[in-house]
C-alpha cells in the first residue's frame, strides 16, 4: 500500500514499526501520572516527551500485542508479575493543577477565520479536547469539525521543533541577528521589504505589524487569502459603503434567505455562528403526543413565511438544508444575481433603485431560472428588511450585486449590518505586485506571516522560484510547508493553543486567546518574532496583548471593573470582551458599487470549474490532520481525497463513472483526478474541493488528493470559478467512501414532512408507535435512565459531532485503504441519503450511533458477557472482556459497532498527548462503540454527589451534543418526565429507529420539517 510510509494510521504500518515501537504501540491507556505536565510546568518540554515514553512498555497490552505471534508466549507472559512501574511526582506542584483533574481555559479557535470562542479542556497540563464556549456571543457553544480537530494539529508530529535556516536548526538569537541584518541590508540598499500576511488576523497582531512597518519605512504588506471569499466580500462593501469590513449577519432575523452558492453552514465566514442562528430561526415548538392526543405547543409558533432558497453550481451543505434549491452554472451566478436585482429594483422603493437598475450588467439570466427568480424576488420583497441575499462566490461583481440586492430590500440594519461588521485591514499591496517586484529583483526581504502562497496561490510554483531572488526570505509557518521550504529562514510560530492573541469577531466583540500549555517545541509566537524584528525593545506576546487590552479594551469594556487586573482576569475567564464601539462609518454610494457591475463576466462554457472549500479541510491549512482527512465529506462521503464532482447526466454523456480519472485543464494548467458522480451538480459544472494536494503539509497530508489552486486565473483567487476543459484520461482511482449506497430504498429510517403538513398534523408522516408484545417482562430502571433525542430538522450534517466523538473517545483514524475496505472506526457517523430528482435531489442527513436498545440484540449473542446493559439503561461494551467474535456487530441493526481489525498506532510520543485519559484505548481484536460518553456521565454524577445536590437536567452533555452548532442533539434522563429529552421523546415528531423490531432504542429522532411547497 503506497500510503503506509506516509500515514502511521495505515493499519498494517503498526507491524512494520520496530519492536520497541510496537511495544509502545501496545499501550492501552494514555494516562500518565503528571510526569509530562510536571516537566512542562517546570519548563522541560523535551523532558516531558522523554518521560512520556516511559511506561509504554509496562502495560498489560505490552505483551498482549506481541502475544499473537505465539499462543505459548501468551501463556508464559500473562503470568509474569507486572513489570516495575515508576511514579514521578512534581517537585513542586504548579498552581491550579491537580493530577487527574481537568482545567478549562477559555480561548479562541484558530480552525478558520471565524475565530469562535472555545474552551480548552486541559488535563495534567495538556489540552485534550476543544469545546465550544457557551457564553461566546457568536458561536454560543458550538464548534465545527475543524475546531474540534485542532487538538490533533496541536500535537502534530510534523510541526517544526526549532527555528531553521534552510532546514538546519539555528538558535533564535542567531535567527533574529540574521533577520535584522537582512532587513538593515535591504534598507541600506534601498530594496523593498515585503510582508505577506493573512487577510484576517487580530488587533494585537495588526498593531505589532504596524510597529514593524513603522520600524522599516517603505515596508509594505500584501494580504493573502487562499479562498478569496472575504476579500471579495470586503471589497464589495468598501465600494458600496467605503468601509472595508465583513458585515455581521443575522440569519435568525431573515425570513426569506436567498443564498447564491453561499455555503454559510459549511465553510463560509462563520459557519458555527450561522448554523446556530439558522437553527434558532427555524426552531419548531414542542408538541407532545400521547395516545393520539396532542399536548400544548411549547415554544414560539413557526414562521410559515420563513424559507431558504439556494442557487448553486454544486451541492453544498447549505444547499442540502435549503427549502428550495436550484442548480446553476458558475457563470450564471452573476446573470442570475443581476436578474434578481433587476426584479427587486422594480419592486423596491429604494431611492437608488433606478441607478442600480441602470448599472446592472447586460447579461440576462438563463431562461430556466426566470420563473424561480420571479418567485424568489416576490418572496424577498415581501419580507423586505427581513430578507437576506448572500453570495459565496469570491467574485467581486457577484458580491456587489448582493450588496445591491440587500440595499434594495433595506436589509442593511436588520439581517445584515455593515456598521457592526469586523473591519479588515486596508488593501496595501496587491500580491501580484510582489511577484513583479520579486521578478525585478527589487525585494530585499520578504516575510510570510503564517501564509503559504506557494501552495495556495495559483502561481505558487512561480513564486517558489522567485523567492530565490530575495536576499532575505522568512516564514513564520508552524512547519516546513510549501512556502517555508523555499525561504531562507523558518521562525516557527506557536500552535494556537500555545499562544496569546485576540481577534475582532465583530465590531465591539473581541475574542481572546490564551494558551493552555507551555510550548511543546522551541517555537515563538509570530507576533513576538515581528516585535523582535521591529526596532526597539522586543515584547512577549502576553505583554503585547495586555498592553493593547489595557489601552483599548479596558476603557471601553461593557463590564466595568475597578482595576485592569480584575478586568483582565475576568476577560480571560470569559474568553471575550464586549466594548462600546462607534458604528463603522458607512455611507452607501451607488456609483462606486455600479462600477463593480461593469467588471468582465465569466464566459459560459460546457465545462466550468467550481472550486469550493470542503467542510473538513477548508483552504488546506490543516491538511496534516488525520481526523479531518478521514472525516467523510457530508455530501460525497469520500475521505482522504478530493474528486471532481460531476452531474449524473453529464457523467453518462461522457461515459464517466465514480473513480474514473479525468484531466482538467484551465489557464493552460492541468490536474488529473478521479470523478465522482454527484447529484445536484449543474451539468456544466465540475466541482473540486480546494485544500488537497499538499506537498509539504507533513507525514499525513502530503500527497492526499490534488491541488486545484493552480487552475485559477493568474489574477489571483479573486474568482473561484473558471472555464475549463475536461478529458477522460483513462485509468481508475477508486474513491474511499464511508457510504456507498445513496438511496434509502423507501425505508422509513428518515422521516420528513413539509411545514404545511406539520402545522396540519404535528405527527405528519410519523404515525404513533404501536405497543409491541413481548415474551419478556423487561427490566426496571430505577434512578437514571439515559436517553437522547436528535432533531433531524436542525441537523445540517456538518459532522462536528463526528470529530467531537472521535476526540472524546480516542477513536483512531485508520487511513484511506482501511476506509475503502469499510473499516472506518467512527462511533458516530452521519448517514447521507439522496431522494427525488438527481439534478437537484433532496439530501437527508442522519447522525447514526449506538441506539442503546433496551432489548439490545448485540447483548444476547455475546458468549462472554462483554456487552450487557447497565442499571441506567446504557448498552455497555467491556473492551477488556471482549474476545472479538463480531457476533454482536452482525446482529446490530444499525451496524454501529466497530471492530479493531488491527493494532492501531497510538505510539507517537507527541500525538499520544491528545488521548483522553478517561477512556481506554482499545487493543486489536476487540469490539467498540458509542458509550454515550459514559465517562462524562460518571463525572457529572460524581460532581453532583460531591456537592450533595441532585443532577440537573442538561448538566451532563455528551461530546456530540456539546459541539453541535445547531443544537440538534439532546441528552438526558428519560426517567425525569420534565427533562428536555423526555419531552422531545414524547414530541409528535419523535420516532425510534426500527421500532418494529422491538429492540427499544433510547434514542429518538425527530421528523425533519422543511418549508418546501408554495
Partner 1 sequence: MIKTCLLALACASLAACDNGFLTQQGYEPAQPIAFSHALHAGEMKMNCQYCHFGAAQSRHAGVPPANVCMGCHKNVKTGSPEIIKLTQAVAENRPIEWTRVHRLPDFVWFSHQNHVAAKVACQTCHGPVETMARVQQVNTMTMGWCLECHRSIAADPANAGKLNPPTDCSACHR
Partner 2 sequence: MSGHTYSALRHPLVDPPRSLSQITDEIAAPMERAPSASFWAALGAAVALLALGAGMVTYEVATGIGTWGLNKTVGWAFDITNFVFWVGIGHAGTLISAILFLFRQKWRTSINRSAEAMTLFAVMCAALFPLIHMGRPWLAFWVFPYPNSRGSLWVNFRSPLLWDVFAISTYFTISLVFWFIGLIPDLATLRDRAAEGSLRRKIFALLAMGWNGSGRTWHRYETVYLLLAGLATPLVLSVHTIVSMDFATSLLPGWHATIFPPYFVAGAVFSGFAMVLTLMIIARKVLGLEHMITVRHLENMTKVIIVTGGIVGLAYGTEFFTAWYSGNPYERFTFINRAFGPYAWAYWTMISCNVLSPQLFWFRKIRTSPWAIFVVTIFINIGMWFERFVIVVTSLHRDFLPSSWSMYRPTVVEVGTLIGSFGLFFTLFLLFTRVLPMISIGEVKSVLTFARQPAGSASHAVPAAAAPVLEEGAA
Partner 3 sequence: MSPVSQRRFAAQFASEEPLLAATREARERGFSIDDVFTPYAVHGLDEAMGLAPSRLPWVCFGAGLTGLVSMLSFEIWTSAVSWRLNVGGKPFDSLPAFIPVAFEFTVLCAGLGSVAALLLRTKLWPGRAPAVLPGTTNDKFTLVVHARAESDETLRALFEHHGALACGPLQPDAPAPAAPPAIATVAP
Q: Which residues bind partner 3 (CB under 8 A)?
A: 776-779, 853-860, 862, 865, 868-871, 1000
Distance CA 960, CA 827 (A): 11
Q: Does 931 bind partner 1 (CB under 8 A)?
A: yes
Distance CA 132, CA 618 (A): 19
Say whether 187 sits in a helix, a strand or coil. Answer: helix
Q: Does 82 bind partner 1 (CB under 8 A)?
A: yes
Q: If contact means CB under 5 to 8 A according to the sort of partner, which of partner 2, partner 1, partner 3, none does residue 924 touch?
A: partner 2
Q: If contact means CB under 5 to 8 A according to the sort of partner, which of partner 3, partner 1, partner 2, none does residue 586 touch?
A: none
Interaction residues for partner 2, span 700-759 (CB under 8 A) = 739-741, 743-747, 749
| CB 895, min distance to partner 2, A | 4
The stretch near partner 1 (CB under 8 A) out of 435-443, 507-515, 875-883, 995-1003 is 875-883
Burial tier of 445 (Cβ tally within 10 Å: 0-12, 13-18, 19+): buried
- Cα dist from 59 to 30, 53, 747, whole Å: 10, 12, 47
Distance CA 739, CA 912 (A): 29
- 596 Cβ contact list (under 8 Å, min separation 6): 236, 239, 396, 397, 399, 400
Q: How many residues bind partner 1 (CB under 8 A)?
A: 58
Q: What x-and-dash track marks residues 855-874 binding partner 1 by CB under 8 A?
A: -------------x-xxx-x
The single residue among 18, 19, 69, 81 that binds partner 1, judged by CB under 8 A, is 81
| CB 775, min distance to partner 3, A | 9
* CB closer to partner 3 out of 843 and 1002: 1002
Distance CA 457, CA 452 (A): 8
Q: Does 605 bind partner 2 (CB under 8 A)?
A: no
Q: Does 879 bind partner 1 (CB under 8 A)?
A: yes
Burial tier of 708 (Cβ tally within 10 Å: 0-12, 13-18, 19+): buried
* CB closer to partner 2 out of 608 and 630: 630
C-alpha cell at 980: 428536555
Q: If contact means CB under 5 to 8 A according to the sort of partner, which of partner 1, partner 2, partner 3, none does residue 893 touch?
A: partner 2
CA 898, chain centre distance (Å):
24
From the list 682, 622, 620, the residue with the least C-alpha distance to 646 is 682
The single residue among 98, 382, 535, 864 that binds partner 1, judged by CB under 8 A, is 98
| CB 799, min distance to partner 1, A | 24
Q: If contact means CB under 5 to 8 A according to the sort of partner, which of partner 2, partner 1, partner 3, none does residue 772 touch?
A: none
Distance CA 497, CA 505 (A): 18
* CB closer to partner 2 out of 281 and 632: 632
Residues 1006/792, Cβ–Cβ less than 8 Å: yes
Q: Does 582 bind partner 1 (CB under 8 A)?
A: no
Q: Does 1 bind partner 2 (CB under 8 A)?
A: no
Interaction residues for partner 1, span 10-39 (CB under 8 A) = 27-29, 31, 33-35, 38-39
* CB closer to partner 1 out of 90 and 887: 90
* CB closer to partner 2 out of 19 and 96: 19
| CB 682, min distance to partner 1, A | 48
* CB closer to partner 1 out of 70 and 695: 70
CA 578, chain centre distance (Å):
25
* CB closer to partner 2 out of 699 and 855: 855
Q: Does 895 bind partner 2 (CB under 8 A)?
A: yes
Interaction residues for partner 2, span 903-942 (CB under 8 A) = 903, 923-927
- Cα dist from 808 to 64, 913, 923, 953, whole Å: 25, 13, 17, 21
* CB closer to partner 3 out of 754 and 998: 998
* CB closer to partner 2 out of 451 and 923: 923
From the list 710, 679, 695, 268, the residue with the least C-alpha distance to 463 is 710
Q: What x-and-dash track marks residues 53-82 binding partner 2 by CB under 8 A?
A: -----------x--xxx-x--x--------
Q: If contact means CB under 5 to 8 A according to the sort of partner, which of partner 3, partner 1, partner 2, none does residue 926 touch?
A: partner 2
Burial tier of 881 (Cβ tally within 10 Å: 0-12, 13-18, 19+): middle
Burial tier of 511 (Cβ tally within 10 Å: 0-12, 13-18, 19+): buried
Q: If contact means CB under 5 to 8 A according to the sort of partner, which of partner 3, partner 1, partner 2, none does residue 178 touch?
A: none
Say whether 132 sits in a helix, a strand or coil. Answer: strand
| CB 935, min distance to partner 3, A | 21
Burial tier of 679 (Cβ tally within 10 Å: 0-12, 13-18, 19+): buried
Burial tier of 172 (Cβ tally within 10 Å: 0-12, 13-18, 19+): middle
Q: Does 898 bind partner 2 (CB under 8 A)?
A: yes
Distance CA 67, CA 181 (A): 59
| CB 770, min distance to partner 3, A | 19
Distance CA 779, CA 754 (A): 38
Burial tier of 740 (Cβ tally within 10 Å: 0-12, 13-18, 19+): exposed
Q: If contact means CB under 5 to 8 A according to the sort of partner, which of partner 3, partner 1, partner 2, none does residue 925 touch?
A: partner 2
- 907 Cβ contact list (under 8 Å, min separation 6): 17, 21, 24, 25, 27, 56
Q: Does 876 bind partner 1 (CB under 8 A)?
A: yes
DSSP letter, residue 973: E
Looking only at the bridges linking them, the beta strands covering 1003-1006 and 990-992 are: antiparallel
Q: If contact means CB under 5 to 8 A according to the sort of partner, which of partner 2, partner 3, partner 1, none does residue 38 touch?
A: partner 1
| CB 124, min distance to partner 1, A | 9
Interaction residues for partner 2, span 945-1004 (CB under 8 A) = 994, 997, 999
| CB 769, min distance to partner 2, A | 17
Q: If contact means CB under 5 to 8 A according to the sort of partner, which of partner 1, partner 2, partner 3, none does residue 1000 touch?
A: partner 3
| CB 276, min distance to partner 3, A | 38
DSSP letter, residue 524: -
Q: Does 883 bind partner 2 (CB under 8 A)?
A: yes
The stretch near partner 2 (CB under 8 A) out of 177-185, 329-337, 859-867, 970-978 is 859-867
Distance CA 410, CA 592 (A): 18
* CB closer to partner 2 out of 415 and 923: 923
* CB closer to partner 1 out of 725 and 869: 869
Q: What's the CA angle centered on 747, arms 746 and 748, to 5 degrees?
A: 120
Q: Does 870 bind partner 2 (CB under 8 A)?
A: no
Q: If contact means CB under 5 to 8 A according to the sort of partner, which of partner 2, partner 1, partner 3, none does residue 919 touch?
A: partner 1
Residues 640/736, Cβ–Cβ less than 8 Å: yes
- 553 Cβ contact list (under 8 Å, min separation 6): 510, 571, 577, 579
Residue 879 CB: number of other CB atoms within 10 A? Answer: 18
Residues of this chain that interact with partner 1 (CB under 8 A) are: 27-29, 31, 33-35, 38-39, 42, 59-61, 70-76, 78-79, 81-82, 84-93, 98-101, 868, 870-872, 874, 876, 878-881, 918-920, 931, 934-935, 938, 942, 945-946
- Write out the residues near partner 2 by the rule CB under 8 A: 11-12, 15, 64, 67-69, 71, 74, 739-741, 743-747, 749, 818, 821-824, 829, 831-833, 846, 848, 857, 860-865, 881-887, 889-891, 893-895, 897-903, 923-927, 994, 997, 999
Amino acid at each position: 500500500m503506497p500510503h503506509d510510509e506516509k500515514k502511521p494510521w495505515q493499519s498494517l504500518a503498526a507491524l512494520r514499526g520496530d519492536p520497541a515501537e510496537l511495544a509502545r504501540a501496545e499501550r492501552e491507556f494514555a494516562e500518565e501520572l503528571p510526569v509530562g505536565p510536571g516537566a512542562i510546568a517546570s519548563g522541560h518540554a523535551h523532558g516531558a516527551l522523554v518521560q512520556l515514553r516511559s511506561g509504554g512498555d509496562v502495560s498489560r497490552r505490552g505483551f498482549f500485542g506481541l502475544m499473537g505471534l505465539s499462543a505459548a508466549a501468551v501463556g508464559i507472559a500473562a503470568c509474569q508479575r507486572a513489570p516495575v512501574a515508576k511514579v514521578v511526582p512534581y517537585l513542586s506542584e504548579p498552581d491550579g493543577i491537580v493530577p487527574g483533574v481537568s482545567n478549562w481555559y477559555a480561548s479562541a479557535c484558530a480552525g478558520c477565520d471565524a475565530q469562535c470562542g472555545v474552551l480548552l479542556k486541559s488535563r495534567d497540563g495538556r489540552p485534550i479536547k476543544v469545546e465550544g464556549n457557551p457564553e461566546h456571543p457568536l458561536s454560543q457553544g458550538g464548534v465545527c469539525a475543524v475546531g474540534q480537530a485542532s487538538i490533533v494539529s496541536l500535537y502534530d508530529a510534523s510541526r517544526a521543533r526549532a527555528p531553521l535556516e534552510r532546514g538546519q536548526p539555528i538558535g533564535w538569537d542567531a535567527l533574529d541577528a540574521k533577520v535584522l541584518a537582512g532587513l538593515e541590508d535591504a534598507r541600506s540598499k534601498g530594496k523593498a521589504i515585503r510582508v505577506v500576511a493573512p487577510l484576517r488576523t487580530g488587533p494585537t497582531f495588526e498593531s505589532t505589524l504596524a510597529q514593524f512597518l513603522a520600524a522599516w519605512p517603505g515596508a509594505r504588506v500584501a494580504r493573502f487569502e487562499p479562498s478569496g471569499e472575504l476579500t471579495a466580500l470586503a471589497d464589495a462593501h468598501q465600494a458600496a459603503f467605503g468601509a472595508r469590513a465583513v458585515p455581521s449577519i443575522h440569519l435568525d432575523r431573515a425570513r426569506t434567505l436567498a443564498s447564491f452558492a453561499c455555503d454559510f453552514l459549511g465553510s463560509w465566514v462563520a459557519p458555527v455562528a450561522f448554523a446556530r442562528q439558522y437553527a434558532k430561526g427555524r426552531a419548531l415548538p414542542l408538541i407532545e403526543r400521547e395516545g393520539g392526543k396532542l399536548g400544548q405547543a411549547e415554544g414560539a409558533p413557526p414562521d410559515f413565511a420563513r424559507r431558504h432558497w439556494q442557487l448553486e453550481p454544486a451541492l453544498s451543505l447549505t444547499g442540502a438544508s435549503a427549502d428550495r434549491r436550484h442548480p446553476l452554472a458558475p457563470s450564471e451566478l452573476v446573470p442570475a444575481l443581476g436578474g434578481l436585482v433587476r426584479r427587486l429594483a422594480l419592486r423596491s422603493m429604494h431611492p437608488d433603485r433606478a441607478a442600480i437598475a441602470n448599472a446592472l450588467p447586460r447579461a440576462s439570466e438563463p431562461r430556466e431560472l426566470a420563473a424561480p427568480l420571479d418567485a424568489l424576488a416576490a418572496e424577498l420583497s415581501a419580507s423586505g428588511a427581513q430578507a437576506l441575499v448572500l453570495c459565496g462566490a469570491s467574485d467581486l461583481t457577484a458580491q456587489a450585486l448582493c450588496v445591491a440586492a440587500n440595499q434594495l430590500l433595506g436589509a442593511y440594519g436588520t439581517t445584515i449590518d455593515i456598521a457592526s461588521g469586523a473591519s479588515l485591514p486596508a488593501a496595501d499591496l496587491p500580491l501580484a505586485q510582489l511577484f513583479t517586484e520579486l521578478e525585478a529583483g527589487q525585494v530585499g526581504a520578504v516575510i510570510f506571516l503564517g501564509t503559504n502562497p506557494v501552495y495556495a496561490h495559483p502561481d505558487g510554483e512561480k513564486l517558489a522560484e522567485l523567492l530565490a531572488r530575495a536576499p532575505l526570505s522568512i516564514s513564520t509557518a508552524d512547519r516546513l510547508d510549501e512556502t517555508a521550504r523555499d525561504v531562507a529562514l523558518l521562525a516557527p510560530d506557536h500552535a494556537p493553543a500555545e499562544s496569546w492573541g485576540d481577534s475582532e469577531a465583530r465590531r465591539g466583540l473581541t475574542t481572546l486567546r490564551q494558551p493552555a500549555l507551555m510550548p511543546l517545541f522551541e517555537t515563538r509566537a509570530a507576533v513576538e518574532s515581528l516585535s523582535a524584528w521591529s526596532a526597539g525593545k522586543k515584547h512577549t506576546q502576553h505583554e503585547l496583548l495586555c498592553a493593547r487590552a489595557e489601552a483599548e479594551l479596558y476603557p471601553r469594556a461593557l463590564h466595568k471593573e475597578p482595576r485592569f487586573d480584575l478586568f483582565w482576569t475576568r476577560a480571560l475567564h470569559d474568553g471575550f470582551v464586549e466594548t462600546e464601539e462607534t458604528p463603522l462609518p458607512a455611507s452607501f454610494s451607488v456609483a462606486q458599487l455600479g462600477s463593480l457591475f461593469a467588471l468582465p463576466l465569466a464566459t459560459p462554457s460546457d465545462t466550468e470549474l467550481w472550486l469550493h472549500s470542503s467542510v473538513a479541510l477548508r483552504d488546506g491549512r490543516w491538511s496534516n490532520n488525520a481526523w479531518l482527512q478521514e472525516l467523510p465529506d457530508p455530501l460525497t462521503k469520500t475521505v482522504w481525497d478530493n474528486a471532481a464532482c460531476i452531474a449524473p447526466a453529464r457523467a453518462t454523456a461522457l461515459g464517466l463513472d465514480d473513480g474514473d480519472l479525468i484531466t482538467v485543464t484551465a489557464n493552460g494548467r492541468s490536474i488529473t483526478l478521479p470523478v465522482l458522480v454527484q447529484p445536484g451538480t449543474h451539468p456544466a459544472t465540475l466541482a473540486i474541493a480546494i485544500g488537497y494536494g499538499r506537498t509539504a503539509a507533513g507525514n499525513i497530508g502530503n500527497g492526499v488528493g490534488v491541488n486545484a489552486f493552480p487552475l485559477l486565473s493568474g489574477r489571483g483567487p479573486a474568482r473561484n470559478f473558471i472555464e475549463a476543459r475536461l478529458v477522460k484520461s483513462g485509468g481508475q482511482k477508486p474513491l474511499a467512501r464511508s457510504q456507498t449506497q445513496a438511496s434509502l430504498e423507501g425505508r422509513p429510517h428518515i422521516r420528513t414532512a413539509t411545514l404545511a403538513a406539520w402545522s396540519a398534523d404535528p405527527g405528519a408522516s410519523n404515525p404513533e408507535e404501536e405497543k409491541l408484545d413481548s415474551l419478556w417482562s423487561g427490566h426496571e430502571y430505577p434512578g437514571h435512565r439515559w436517553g437522547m433525542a436528535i432533531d433531524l430538522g436542525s441537523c445540517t450534517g456538518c459532522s462536528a459531532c463526528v470529530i467531537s466523538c472521535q476526540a472524546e473517545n480516542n477513536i483512531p483514524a485508520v487511513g484511506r485503504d482501511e476506509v475503502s475496505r469499510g473499516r472506518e472506526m467512527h462511533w458516530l457517523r452521519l448517514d447521507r441519503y439522496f431522494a427525488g430528482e438527481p439534478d437537484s435531489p433532496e439530501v437527508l442527513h442522519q447522525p447514526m450511533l449506538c441506539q442503546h436498545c433496551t432489548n439490545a440484540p448485540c447483548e444476547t449473542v455475546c458468549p462472554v458477557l462483554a456487552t450487557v446493559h447497565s442499571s441506567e439503561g446504557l448498552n455497555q461494551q467491556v473492551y477488556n472482556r471482549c474476545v472479538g467474535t463480531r457476533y454482536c456487530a452482525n446482529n446490530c441493526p444499525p451496524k454501529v459497532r466497530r471492530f479493531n481489525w488491527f493494532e492501531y498506532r497510538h505510539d507517537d510520543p507527541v500525538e499520544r498527548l491528545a488521548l483522553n485519559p478517561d477512556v481506554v484505548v482499545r487493543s486489536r481484536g476487540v469490539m467498540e462503540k458509542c458509550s454515550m460518553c459514559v465517562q462524562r456521565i460518571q463525572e457529572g454524577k460524581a460532581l453532583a454527589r460531591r456537592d450533595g445536590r441532585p443532577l440537573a437536567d442538561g448538566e451532563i452533555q455528551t461530546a456530540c451534543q456539546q459541539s453541535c452548532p445547531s443544537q440538534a442533539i439532546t441528552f438526558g434522563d428519560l426517567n425525569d418526565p420534565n427533562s428536555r429529552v423526555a419531552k422531545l421523546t414524547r414530541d409528535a415528531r419523535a420516532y425510534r429507529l426500527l421500532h418494529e423490531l422491538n429492540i427499544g432504542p433510547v434514542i429518538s429522532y425527530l421528523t425533519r420539517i422543511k418549508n418546501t411547497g408554495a
